[in-house]
Amino acid sequence: MVYGGRDVGGYRERDGYRGRESSPGGYRRGGGGGGGYRDDGYGRPEWDRGGRSPDRGGRDRYGRGARERSPPRRGPGGSGQVLSFKHFMARQPDNVRPKEAEVMYKEYLIKQLGNAKNVWFKEHSESEEMRQRYDPVRIEEALKVREAEAKASVGEFVGASGSDQAAEGEGMEAQTRLCKYPEAAWAEGRTSKDLKLLHKLVTTLDAEKNIQKNPLFGDMGSLEEVKGAQGDSLLDKLLSYAWRVHGVDYYAGEELGFNRFRERKDGRQQSRGPKPTEAGASAVSDEAAQYFRDLEIRWDTRVFEGDRAFKLVGKEKLEGELSSYVDSQVQQIDGNKFMCKLCTKLFKGSDFTKKHISNKHAELVEQVKAKTVQKIYMDNFLADETFKEHEEEVKALQDSMGEDVSAAALTSREPRAAPTPARTPRRSYFDLDQPKQETRSVLDYGDI
């Protein structure tokens, strides 16, 4: 008798409950046909064994194809990874002395990172001195402090100008030293040239530090009308203002950097000194004339290019990288529909999508910002051509080894392979169920 199914070998089996139907496709557990796929005997069609469905293009539930695998793990030194000192020495001969090992590792780092300057940055990038000189975040903070100190110095300069002129003159003499060619600085026509150039330079410096009103330019008319003793007095005041407010030593051709800005209070600037008499005046030498031509080029270039410290901050580069990243995460779906690639939310405009990314995905934006700031930090260091400490360090290491050993000889040694970890010997396996094998001869029937 068949009850709710068919009779199979003396027991009944419900359709759609257990077993296989006689149809070629069979069906999966829970009822229903198999769609033409052969069952594997466990209630699953053949394509479901590996988790990849033909409806998903042959990919599994995680979106991976048959050939897609996780990247293999690599040990130290693999795929361009820089070896640590410990792993590097594990591949070197045993007879290497400590100083030789230090130089060999330094040569290895130079080879891996490109040059000695990159190695220096990798080793010293976290030091406070390096941060103060090249880190754009620290530089921006130092520029704000410099601006505040410059504005405070303007008030001090105005107060000093209103004091007794004789006391001021004595104080100025104590804070100055003669320039290289003092007589040439008093030559005919030199005062008007310096006055025009210094006026242009001070105007640029005031604008960079957001100083709205210069106390020396308030009642001054055209520079063409300033002549004689009035021009000499105005030039001396501008020289003092440039040094005490902006840290610019005009005749020396030097400008204090943002990390040395406070030295202007204790340092001494160069001046023309007292005006020579007509009897003591002499002709301007060729060297002096060339010196002042170079000085004009130096300050004209400074006015044209601006403050280099603002370039070290890299504000334009940082804003460009962040804008490019946000734009790359916006996808236009339709004419007025835009999708955020990070969370697939839809918006009616690209501006709303960008605002959403900046607010809701701020962590990812901060990660991009941190990488860009680190890149600017490294670029600032590599662009400093005056930095030579890395060369001195390599030379000192080579000199400390002695003249008989060179870096080339060290690097020519054959490196040894990485040590293979010792294996624990395996214990012998004895099968207790194995039949006992007798080696003695049969004596009687009882031994059979």
Query: Side chain identity at 338, as an amino acid letter?
Result: F
Predicted confidence at residue 197, as pLDDT, reads: 92
Give, as one character, the DSSP assignment of residue 187: S
Predicted confidence at residue 338, as pLDDT, reads: 93
- 309, 337, 352: which is the final residue of a domain? 309
Predicted confidence at residue 249, as pLDDT, reads: 93
Domain membership of residue 91 (yes or no) is no
Predicted confidence at residue 404, as pLDDT, reads: 42
Number of domains the chain contains: 3
Domain membership of residue 407 (yes or no) is no
Q: Do 185 and 231 share a structural domain? A: yes
Whether the Cβ atoms of residue 317 and residue 374 lie closer than 8 Å to each other = no
Give the range of the structural domain holding residue 327, as residue numbers without chain letter.
314-389
Whether the Cβ atoms of residue 247 and residue 264 lie closer than 8 Å to each other = yes
Q: Do 300 and 347 share a structural domain? A: no
Predicted confidence at residue 98, as pLDDT, reads: 79
- 309, 339, 366: which is the final residue of a domain? 309
Please name the residues in contact with 338: beta carbons below 8 A apart, sequence gap of 6 or more: 330, 331, 332, 346, 347, 348, 349, 350, 352, 353
Domain membership of residue 424 (yes or no) is no
Q: At what angle do helices 190-208 and 286-305 cross, to 10 degrees?
A: 20
Write down how long the chain is.
448
- Among residues 328, 322, 332, the alpha carbon closest in space to that of 362 is found at 322
Cα 215 from Cα 402, distance rounded (Å): 63
- Going residue by residue through the chain, which has 448 residues, state the pLDDT in tens, using 9 for 90 and above: 444 445 444 444 444 444 444 444 444 444 444 444 455 555 555 444 444 455 555 555 545 554 444 444 444 555 457 788 788 788 888 888 777 787 777 777 777 776 777 888 888 889 998 999 999 999 999 999 999 999 999 988 887 765 544 444 444 555 678 888 888 888 888 888 999 999 999 999 999 999 988 888 765 656 666 777 888 888 899 999 999 999 999 999 999 988 889 888 887 888 888 888 765 566 888 999 999 999 999 999 999 999 999 999 999 999 999 999 999 999 998 888 999 999 989 999 999 999 999 999 999 999 999 999 999 999 999 888 888 876 776 677 666 665 444 444 444 444 444 455 556 666 666 667 766 665 555 555 555 5
Domain membership of residue 118 (yes or no) is no
Domain membership of residue 441 (yes or no) is no
Within 10 angstroms of residue 199's Cβ, the number of other Cβ atoms is 19
Q: Do 214 and 198 share a structural domain? A: yes
Give, as one character, the DSSP assignment of residue 39: B
Q: Do 342 and 251 share a structural domain? A: no
Predicted confidence at residue 207, as pLDDT, reads: 93
Give, as one character, the DSSP assignment of residue 134: H
Domain membership of residue 231 (yes or no) is yes
Q: Do 242 and 327 share a structural domain? A: no
Q: Do 166 and 235 share a structural domain? A: yes
- Among residues 127, 196, 139, 187, the alpha carbon closest in space to that of 389 is found at 127
Instruction: Give the tokens for residue 292.
Output: 């002042």
Predicted confidence at residue 31, as pLDDT, reads: 46
Domain membership of residue 219 (yes or no) is yes
- 340, 373, 389: which is the final residue of a domain? 389
Cα 73 from Cα 403, distance rounded (Å): 43
Q: Do 181 and 326 share a structural domain? A: no
Domain membership of residue 400 (yes or no) is no
Q: Do 298 and 339 share a structural domain? A: no
Q: Do 344 and 269 share a structural domain? A: no
Q: Do 293 and 151 share a structural domain? A: yes
Q: Do 224 and 340 share a structural domain? A: no
Q: Do 156 and 304 share a structural domain? A: yes
